[in-house]
Amino acid sequence: MKLETLLQSNISEELKNIATKVYQEERITIEDGILLFEKADLNFLGSLSNYIREKKHGDITYFNKNFHIEPTNICVFDCKFCAYSMLLRNKGDYDAWEMTEEDIYKTIRSYNDKEVTEVHIVGGVHPKMGLQYFANLIKNIKKIRPELHVKAFTAVELEYMCRKAKVSYQEGLQILKDHGQDSLPGGGAEIFAESVREEICKDKCSSAEWLEIHETAHKIGMPSNATMLYGHVESYADRVDHMNRLRSLQDKTGGFNTFIPLKFRNGNNQMSHIKEVSVLEDLRTYAIARIFMDNFPHLKAYWPMIGRETAQLSLNYGVNDIDGTIDDTTKIYSMAGAEEQSPNMTTSQIIDLIKKVNRKPVERDSVYNVVNDYSETVPETA
């Protein structure tokens, strides 16, 4: 919708004021962000976020060919929303796993003849898998597949690794980088508001530590992503505060590639009594993220978590990236009750999914260089 049409529509002056800012490329404030959550309807948010999305990326929708390795689900921490972690004290439980180094190399080798460009390595925080162990692991992964981009370890894992190894974040990250780690995923951010963190994940790294680790990574030339776990006990103001802390850091470093809102799923965890938010709320959150995070180049909808149809819808609400083919290699969401119990899409399925909503599928590498433009590929199914 054009600005003139939007301004002529029956919306309040305060929302018109925000729309004008967006069309004039003026940053919206924290108060504006909260107002959008409280008062703006989906059509209004769709118009503004899609305007920004198309201005930045046209119809391009990125995906990559990736797989995950989750070395263990044994974790020293006890996040209330986590369906995945087997606490250290339950180590004997049949659901707990610990991959050996050889298991991990075998997994890497199993992709030898496949066109993947990225491995995403995250897991529980295991007290015996330390900095040097992971540094060697990455070095050996790179020996097997030198060109594979290694996106590894959330700030939560990194804080613990550095603390145990008694090194600064800069030293620890430099060691990992020197052994071949390329970037950091966005996990562990949850919600930065300290009161919420206290309630849902009080024993893991603080918000300040999460932000410091990403800042340090950017400083030494490792890009990263950022997530936000929404739809549980946080308020709208907490969501905007979270995005604002990220927006401020991005102003300083420019090292974030992608913002990834993650919808809280309530299966099999200590917060199962909390009702999940609606798809409407998912789309509103994506849209407001796109409007607020003006300095983040990309907005990702992680399809294994929200499902394929919502991922398709999200492409009209600011999203321009839907992650990758995944190849059934992650358990974190399926264990929390997400739609996709065995997340796996072939390249042609991902292309079809994007084309069916009239967007252009483009395969990217981990830092958004174009690998293959599939926009002229004819969909397999009508």
How many CB atoms are located within 10 Å of the residue 41 CB? 11
Residues 6 or more apart whose Cβ sits within 8 Å of residue 155: 184, 187, 188, 189, 205, 209, 210, 213, 214
Shortest approach of ligand SF4 to residue 200 CB, angstroms? 9
Answer yes or no whether residue 229 interacts with ligand V47 by CB under 6 A: yes
Longest dimension (CA), the chain: 64
Answer yes or no whether residue 336 interacts with ligand V47 by CB under 6 A: yes
Q: What are phi and psi of 135, to 5 degrees?
A: -60, -45
The site for ligand SF4, by CB under 6 A, has a size of: 12
Answer yes or no whether residue 240 interacts with ligand V47 by CB under 6 A: no
Shortest approach of ligand SF4 to residue 207 CB, angstroms? 14
* Residue 336 binds which entry of ligand SF4, ligand V47, none, CB below 5-8 Å type-dependent: ligand V47
Q: Cα 77 to the chain's mean position, in Å?
A: 20
CB 119 within 8 A of CB 108: yes
The site for ligand V47, by CB under 6 A, has a size of: 20
Answer yes or no whether residue 191 interacts with ligand V47 by CB under 6 A: no
Strand 298-299 and strand 224-230: the pairing is unpaired
Site for ligand V47 in 285-324 (CB under 6 A): 302, 323
Residue of 188, 223, 318, 343 that binds ligand V47 (CB under 6 A): 188
Nearest to 326 by CA among 356, 353, 347, 348: 347
Residue of 81, 134, 230, 286 that binds ligand V47 (CB under 6 A): 81
Please, which residue, 247 or 331, has the CB nearer to ligand V47? 331
Dihedral in degrees, nearest 10, Cα atoms 41, 43, 47, 49: 50
CB 319 within 8 A of CB 288: no
Answer yes or no whether residue 265 interacts with ligand V47 by CB under 6 A: yes
Binding mask 69-98 for ligand SF4 (x = CB under 6 A): ------x-xxx--x-xx-------------
Answer yes or no whether residue 305 interacts with ligand SF4 by CB under 6 A: no
Site for ligand SF4 in 147-166 (CB under 6 A): 156
Please, which residue, 33 or 185, has the CB nearer to ligand SF4? 185
Distance CA 369, CA 371 (A): 6
- Under the rule (CB under 6 A), what is the footprint of ligand SF4? 75, 77-79, 82, 84-85, 124-125, 156, 201, 204
